[in-house]
Chains A and B, each alone.
Chain A
Amino acid sequence: MAQLNLVQAVNDALRSEMQLDDRLVILGEDVGVDGGVFRATEGLLKQFGPRRVLDTPLSEVGIVGSSIGMAAYGLHPVVEVQFSGFLPPAFDQIVSHAARIRWRSRGRYHLPLVVRAPYGGGIRSPEHHSESPEAFYAHVGGLKVVIPSTPADAKGLLIAAIRDPDPVIFLEPKHIYRAFRQEVPEGEYILPLGRAQIAQEGDDLSLFAWGAMTQIALAAAEELDQAGISAEVVDLRTISPLDAETIVASVRKTGRALIVHEAPRQGGVGAEVAALINDKALMSLQAPVLRVAGFDTIMPLLQLEDYYLPDAGRVVRAARRLMTY
């Protein structure tokens, strides 16, 4: 097995699928000659040529719109949008068309389309480069939303997303693109969509996280462990459809739930996880479900993001509130 970081694992997934399936094409800004703004598509133009790795104009609506047509007519396009803050210009194409063609055509057409975008904070960037927009896409029926938190998961989930018959929004936590390396299985490696992963077992409370926040939750769990509190960390991996079974089983075991996310709190994915726990496991709860989230402001610029993003300290403080409720 190769030791890869997350962005290398994305590259490995793309290469491995492009070798197996010549319907797979990549398109986006600078994905070809340049190899992608974060190098996720490095070497693919050289290996597969300009008909399968397409440098597009700077027009997200055009990129996604073109790929919808490609997917409806038999190709398997994987779109790269350079930053998740640049997804909104394509929002209408995604919501009004990509998500609906199967339903609109009563199943005659379906769209095997993946829209990849680096997302989230942690790299001290300018505006529009640090957003966490997963809740917008999760609220759209007909879309799947997938967020990996490790190199191996990035490869396995991206391959599953590419093979999925329907559109998948695949958000990559850019904060941990190069944060660490991990053994990543070579060749075909598939992780099913729609299944959460218990990143660490525990008995006293459940921490739910995804993307870069999984690492924060694990760090908080370690701190809590030193204080004699056993936290279970559940990495959701797929935001839509949610793995209700794993979420509910964990809460039934621990009786306490804390959700950690980067996006603004109001209307975030944490709300749906809390509502799901209310529906299925309210009577198991020993304390209210708490959310540690970004704030209801725009993501601040540069180093101010340190005050915005949940860190292990905020998670530990909320966990202690739960334990003493």
Chain B
Amino acid sequence: MAHLNLVQAVNQALLTEMARDERVLVLGEDVGLDGGVFRATEGLYEKFGPQRAIDTPLAEAGIVGTAIGMAVYGLRPVCELQFDGFMLPAFDQILSHASRLRGRSRGRFQVPLVIRAPYGGGIRALEHHSESPEQFYVHIPGLKVVIPATPADAKGLLISAIRDPDPVVFLEPKRLYRAFRQEVPEGDHAIPLGQARVARAGRDVTLIGWGAQVHTALQAAELLAAQEGISVEVLDLRTLSPLDLETISQSVEKTGRVVIAQEAPRSFGFSSELTALITERLFLHLEGPVVRVTGFDTAMPYFSLEQYYLPDVGRVARGVRQTLSA
């Protein structure tokens, strides 16, 4: 096994799938000669040539629109959009076309398309470079939404996303791209979509996160265990849509208390959907209100100000204490 960071694992997944299936191709801004703004597509152009690693103009609506046509006619395009904030010009293509062609054609056409984008804060970037837009895509039927939190998951989930017959929005937590390395299985390593992972087992509280927040949650769990003897179970959702309600239920039935850590603005975010589902399905198991620890209902602030915006270990730990005192 190779010791890889998250962005190298993404590169491995692309390399593996492109070698295995000649219908797989990548397209996006600077994905070819340059190897991608974060180097996720490095070496693909040299290895597979300009027909399969396509440098596009700066036009996200065009990239996704073109990819939809490619997918409908038998290719397996993987788009890269350079940053989360640049996905919005393609929103109409994603919502009105990619997610609907199967329904619109009564199953005659399908769109095996992956839209990759680095997302989330933590790199002290400028505007439009730190957003967490997952909820927009979760609210669109016909799309899957996948967010890895580790290098091995990034590889396994991206391979499954590429093999999925329907469009997948694949959001990569850019803060973790080079944060740590991990053993990543070589070659064919697919992790099924729609399955959450118990990142840390515990008894007292269920702490749910995705993307970079999984690591904040794990650090909070460690701190609470060491200093206060609180046993926190951390769930890494991995796929937001479709959601693995079974793993969540098993955990909440055991703990009776839930905290959700989310980077995106609080109101109308994914943690609201989780809270609604948990209170609806697991009402009699709950010992207190579900606690949401989230970003704020403003635009993501710039540079160092983001540290006041993103949930950190202290805020997540306070959320856990709050649910225990309910």
Contacts and interface: CB of A to CB of B under 8 A. Distances in A.
A pairs with B: yes
Contacts of B265: 139-141
Contacts of B241: 266
Given A142-B298, A240-B267, A275 B92 contact: no
A288 B280 contact: yes
Nearest to B290: A278
Interface stretch (A28-36, A69-77, A84-92, A188-196): A84-92
List the 4 closest A-B pairs by CB distance, nearest first. A267-B139, A274-B276, A88-B92, A92-B88
B63 to A, nearest CB: 14
A168 B299 CA distance: 16
B299 A141 contact: yes
Interface in B85-128: 85, 88-89, 91-92, 95-96, 99-100, 103-104, 127-128
Interface in B61-95: 85, 88-89, 91-92, 95
A266 B273 contact: yes
Interface magnitude class on chain B: 35 or more
B70 to A, nearest CB: 21
7 contacts: A138-B267, A264-B140, A274-B276, A275-B271, A279-B289, A282-B286, A288-B279
B303 interface: no
A99 B92 CA distance: 18
Nearest to B292: A275
A28 B89 CA distance: 20
B275 interface: yes
Contact of B279 (A139, A268, A278): A278
A271 B276 contact: yes
Which one of B243, B281, B297 has the highest number of Cβ atoms from chain A below 10 Å of its Cβ?
Answer: B297
A272 B272 contact: yes
Given A139-B135, A275-B272, A288 B267 contact: no
Contacts of A269: 268
B180 interface: no
A100 interface: yes
Given A282-B286, A298-B142, A272 B298 contact: no
Given A135-B268, A271-B275, A282-B279, A92 B286 contact: no
A142 B267 CA distance: 12
A6 B54 CA distance: 51
B49 interface: no
Contact of A88 (B96, B268, B299): B96
Interface residues of A, number: 47
A89 B61 CA distance: 9
Contact of B135 (A88, A267, A279): A267
B269 interface: yes
A263 B243 CA distance: 18
A287 interface: yes
B89 A92 contact: yes
A60 to B, nearest CB: 9
A291 B128 contact: no
Given A91-B91, A96-B128, A287 B283 contact: yes
Interface string B211-245: 00000000000000000000000000000010100
Contact of A298 (B88, B100, B138, B264): B100
Nearest to B139: A267
Contacts, number: 127
A309 to B, nearest CB: 15
A310 interface: no
Interface string A236-271: 000010100000000000000000000110111111
A272 B139 contact: no
A21 interface: no
A70 B128 CA distance: 23
A103 interface: yes
Which one of B88, B99, B243, B265 has the highest number of Cβ atoms from chain A below 10 Å of its Cβ?
Answer: B88
A104 interface: yes
B267 A139 contact: yes
B243 to A, nearest CB: 8
A141 B132 CA distance: 13
Given A139-B265, A141-B265, A298-B103, A95 B88 contact: yes
B92 A89 contact: yes
Interface string A282-325: 10010111110001111000000000000000000000000000
Given A88-B91, A270-B276, A99 B135 contact: no
A275 B138 contact: no
B141 A296 contact: yes
Nearest to B282: A288
Contacts of B142: 297-298
B314 interface: no
Contact of B283 (A103, A267, A270, A288): A288
A282 B99 CA distance: 36
